[in-house]
Amino acid sequence: MKKDFPITLTIAGSDSGGGAGVQADLKTFSSLATFGTTVFTCLTAQNPDGVTGIYEISPDFVSSQLQAVSSYFPIKSAKTGMLYSKDIIKSVASFFYDNPDIQLVLDPVMVATSGAKLLKDDAIQSLIEDLIPLAKIITPNLDEASLLLGENIHQYDQLVPMAKKLFEKYNVPILLKGGHLPNASVATDVLFDGISIFEYSKPYLKEKHTHGTGCTYSAAITAFLAHGKNLAEAVGSAKEYLHLSLEDDILTGPTQHLNHFPDPTH
């Protein structure tokens, strides 16, 4: 009997280094038994050391990709990553406005770990006004949450109140990722869905190469939602998958990378 793989979609930029962006999303989708489809927003020239160039796809072609994929595939869930410009965001928002049954995981990608800007200044307001209201969940790291909230977050005891503040401001479930907290021995993320708080903690893995972890995490949530898990379950399963991927990292040239096909017995 043939397996029924639910359809997932990533709307994001290409990482020529293969560790983040659409490439990481597709590996994650495949690892978690979904059929991944893609819409490219940008091409980047990059490797784990940094981004050296960005080529923006036209908003019309982004819309053409969305139409081509959605007219054929019954998409269960989707994620956004690097959207880059206001006009691309408006094209993507228009699609989700017309397709409200597709569960949207919004990873508000703004700045790369290397410091490269991945979202134009005039696009932030469009992200907030046009796309965030259509999301099932948004997954900011501490820097992104600080930008969205206008307050710095740098302590563990801020995670729960700040997650609640973000929900109050945007009225969308928030997964606030605490992995960038200084001197943390435990990586804790907080989900607030408007009713309940859920905390997900794993030992902080020092000296691990974390390029692509944000993309992988949101893609994993997308995959587990496609399999029918509720939001809290999907986040918990995604956290477990990401931790395994970091634990079971692989050597890729001069650096280690997280392993999108981890050994669960590791």
Which residues are tagged catalytic? 177, 210, 212-215
Token pair for residue 26? 């597709």
SS (H, E, C) 99-159: CCCCEEEECCCCECCCCCECECHHHHHHHHHHHHHHCCEECCCHHHHHHHHCCCCCCHHHH
Provide the 8-state DSSP code for 34. Answer: -
Helix boundaries (H) for the chain:
21-31, 59-70, 86-98, 124-126, 142-149, 159-170, 213-226, 231-247
Measured distance CA(240)–CA(92) in Å, rounded: 29
CB 66 within 8 A of CB 99: no
Half-sphere CA count of 180, side-chain side, radius 13 A = 16
